[in-house]
Structure 1
């Protein structure tokens, strides 16, 4: 069932949109992954979470199951995970085709977190990987796999990054 974005999700969408304005000329998926990861890392740290992500930043811990996860745990630098209280957010970022997007999305469906976010690149509908097509695929999949009450947010970035106005999003909850 479709739901409204909350203020945290709106903030993330605003930062992603701004990143497209600031970096539209980038063509490397590795650089785009870093740009998107840095947004989620910064927002998670600003909100007091321990961050797990494949990043070169020393304050970030190694990736754990998902591309990015925000963990609620004690503040210990070394073994805070021993006082683990759950995951606030899990994120997957995928630049591949529908099957690769779906493969990563399945990890979100089985993960336990307050927020499950999928970021992907979409193309024109005529190219077979439009936002609506991918969105429907992910919604239908989540309804079969995810637990009731699971919240999802998908963020679609346009293939032509200079079109920041085409950043699309959809949020839903499993009823």
Structure 2
């Protein structure tokens, strides 16, 4: 018979309300700040943008690296219902007649850059949630291990009774 079968094991302890709030609140705060500061505009662009045709394109400015602004071309475009708009066409050089993804005052050479940015937002959100759950899971496992060790130490070294300490 295995000796460990007779040893006590501490019960699993469910997280308290404040611990649940922390586990779910930290990723929510991270995502909320990211939404407000940056990604909300990309979600809106994804929801409100539509295909358009570039009608005029100025001289394109190419990005020179990570620290310079993204590539863009000043231009104008026409939507399928006849409306027109103009502004910077982000992401890559385009020519008149090219199909672009656009809204009022903004455009991208395709929908890809917008989806990529939204995908990054989703990945960060999932990673923050998974990371928080993994950290808390590890904490609860360590807490159970610590409590189990305390239970086992009490069995191995029971407190001496008052009678045994009085005997010479």
Same fold (TM over 0.5): no
Highest relative contact order (Cα 8 Å, sep 6+), 1 or 2? 2
- TM-score after normalising by structure 1: 0.20
Give 1 or 2: higher helix fraction: 2
- TM-score after normalising by structure 2: 0.21
Max Rg structure: 2
